[in-house]
Amino acid sequence: MLAASIRHLESDPHLGDFIRRYGPISHRRTHAPGVFRALAESIIYQQLSGKAADTICKRFRALFHGKSFPTPEDVLKIRVSRLRSAGLSQQKAAYLKDLALKCSDGTIEPKKFPSMTDAEIIEHVTAVKGIGEWTAHMFLMFTLKRPDILPTGDLGIQKGFKKLFGLKKLPSPEYMHRLAVGWRGHRTMASFYLWRFLDER
């Protein structure tokens, strides 16, 4: 899938030159975590620097002795005060409790994901408090490895479009979709390259 996307995008009149110069790019995660862990970590990492979030995530996992990561049932059983002791805010603790509940009661059904469209999965996971469209897009790209995701709410992607297309201001989601029409079917890989392109001096 990745190689096919790169071959398709190499011929793009806007992104192709950078792709040929940069070379192949691999998926950022070689081993995607399970659905509950991926969504729980996305909540923990929201609005924090990587270092601070890493520390809190380690403390969170340490609350559940002997486990690399807790189950939804584990999170449901633990007191909010214990979650707060790991450095989680009251709001994030509530979000994790809601995620655990929805993963336990069948609101979130990972077994259905293979037969669901991207839009259906976005609607599905945003039923959890604290999970919005951006988080859903990242989940689709990095955990489920869906090939055609364009995260228009991501500031880096917006800046990448502005730089690549020589725009005077950050584009709207609608305009980004129009500009990316030639990337259809491969917009996840295009997004990976846009992030790299933005970092290029």
Residue 121 tokens read as: 């999965």
List 17, 74, 98, 154, catalytic entry: 154
Q: Cβ(65)–Cβ(82) under 8 Å?
A: no
Find tokens 């790209």 and name the residue.
141
Supply the DSSP symbol for 200: -
Rounded Cα–Cα distance for residues 43 and 35 (Å): 13
- 154 an active-site residue? yes
Separation between Cα atoms, residue 83 and residue 75, nearest integer Å: 9
Contact 29, 142 (CB under 8 A): yes
Strands (E) in 6-164, as ranges, are none
Contact partners, residue 179, CB within 8 Å, separation at least 6:
14, 161, 165, 171
On whether the CB atoms of residues 22 and 196 are closer than 8 A, the answer is yes
Residues forming the active site: 154
